[in-house]
Amino acid sequence: METMNPHHQALEAELAWLSQVQETAFANYFATEAGALQVLPAAPNPEPGTHYAALLTRYALGPAERLALMLALAPHWQPELLDIYFHKNEMYDRGFSEFGGFTAQYHGGFMPTGETLRFLLVHAGLAWPGEVVELLQHPRPLAAQPLLTVGPV
């Protein structure tokens, strides 16, 4: 069996972290007891010398920016990670509006939007709602480079 190259391993580790953060955000969102909030898992340290580690260093990306990048990458690299957003709101017999996202014409999985990022960061305890908008605006690195843009759905 062929071993994965270190560049792919760095992305796989970051996507695994995204999955843990999503589980934390969902647990916090659906928590029914005041003291039941989950603590955000620490971000992995990418292997030095990988392209991803260089990107993080070059643009000084913090946890919120890293999650934004992984949320954008996930539908194309590991779409099953985003199936959690298909959770159904039993009260209205439909998906939760606050999760954002959509399904595309030629992609059967969940496609995240800015609302998805907002849900994730707010309920994981990484940002207040207004901070998410700032994260995606100039002069912040994601928008200034541009590493990530939010387009129309």
- Per residue in 52-88, pLDDT (tens digit) is 999 999 999 999 999 999 999 999 999 999 999 999 9
CA–CA separation, 48 and 134 (whole Å): 29
Q: What is the pTM of this model?
A: 0.89
State the DSSP code for 104.
Answer: E
Cβ contact 135:67 at 8 Å: no
At position 81, the amino acid (one-letter code) is: L
Residue 73 tokens, joined: 């990458």
At position 1, the amino acid (one-letter code) is: M
Confidence tier at 107 by pLDDT (50, 70, 90): confident
10 to each of 57, 108, 122, how far by Cα in Å? 14, 26, 25
